[in-house]
Amino acid sequence: MIKVKDLSKNYGSVEAVKSISFDLNDGEVIGFLGANGAGKTTTLKMMTGYLVPTKGSITVNDMDIIEDMHSIQKQIGYLPELNPLYSEMRVYDYLEFLASIRDITGPQFKEALARVVEQCGLRGVVHKNISDCSKGYKQRIGLAAAMIHDPKILILDEPVTGLDPNQIIEIRSLIRSLGKEKLVFMSSHILQEIQATVDRIIIIDQGEIVANGTSEELMANFMGNVLLTMEVKGAKVDSIEHIQATLPNVKFISMSKNKSIHTIQLEYEKNKDPREDIFNYAVKNKWSILKMSPRTTNLEDIFRDLTMEGGSDA
């Protein structure tokens, strides 16, 4: 388990991370979501011991990141956003080099290599130069490097950046399979990728945690009103404009016309569905309803509402 408490990081007068707190539990895949510059990378670097916090604490299985840094780093596999590969090396030699740094040699290395080659799907490239591998394979090599010592925790910073759709699906599948046996904490600014991969989402904006929960919990907590789009024929403008006065649970938003068809947008509270009343109102006013399409708040709306300001990379 990882506990982050009142964590802050300042770069001079700039507060990149502002007193954030959250817990990560074993057996979870957690997404760390935020716009570019929200403080994701700074937080991950503190969690892996590469940056010293200005204030606050990070504990990994009750060990402090400052006092027990080397012991913690033995438990963590870290894939930075800029994948640090030596392109002139063969994949085999690169993984052997990283393993030797961790005192994994001889039969232990052979066993570790076989494990990560199988887990990361590297069988076809293990004897190639890294420079000859595709972007997708380079990300797999970076993951294998982070996993060569079989850590219980994986921290991945933007693991699908720059990948094509097929490569994203491959890496997503790999991360999900790894999450069955490890704690995986991955950052991204791509909502769809986080939503498709993780069990829980933590959203950071301008250095502050603004949401923490499963997709369902975030939807339940932040869901707003329902926006109803209607297309109707035969409607008079005054009957459209008076719908709000006639139906108290309906708010008139907008109206446009294309030839004989009016497009109307109405809004109502999600727990007060007035569509039957709207239908009866339309019949009474001799409208022909061509379309009635409700749209509730989704995770993209929530993310946009929580992170409207954005910022520079941090």
Residue ranges of domains in the chain: 2-221, 224-296
What is the pLDDT at residue 304?
A: 82
> Are 263 and 297 within 8 A, CB to CB?
no
d(CA 1, CA 24): 6
Report the percent of the chain where pLDDT is more than 90.
Answer: 69
Q: What is the CATH number of domain 2-221?
A: 3.40.50.300
Query: Distance (Å, rounded) from C-alpha 156 to C-alpha 252?
Result: 46
- β-sheet bridge partners, residue 204: 209
Is residue 81 over pLDDT 80?
Answer: yes
- Mean pLDDT computed over 173-197: 87
CA distance 123 to 146: 17
Phi/psi-derived region of residue 201, left when phi > 0, alpha when psi is between -120 and 50, beta in every other case: beta
pLDDT band at 310 (very low <50, low <70, confident <90, very high): very low
Distances (CA, A) of 222 to 58, 88, 105, 118, 269: 29, 49, 51, 41, 13
Q: What is the mean pLDDT of residues 275-281?
A: 94
What is the structure's pLDDT at 305? 79
**pLDDT above 70 covers what percent of the chain?**
97
pLDDT of 43 over the 50 cut: yes
Tens-place pLDDT, residues 199-226: 999 999 999 999 999 888 887 776 667 8
Matching fold, domains 2-221 and 224-296: no
d(CA 84, CA 74): 18
Res 39: pLDDT: 95
The predicted pLDDT at position 314 comes to 53
- The chain-wide mean pLDDT, for the chain, equals 90
User: Per residue in 140-180, pLDDT tens?
Assistant: 999 999 999 999 999 999 888 777 888 788 888 888 888 88
Question: Does domain 224-296 correspond to CATH entry 3.30.70.2040?
Answer: yes
pLDDT at 312: 42
What's residue 166's pLDDT? 83
303, 200 contact by CB (below 8 A): no
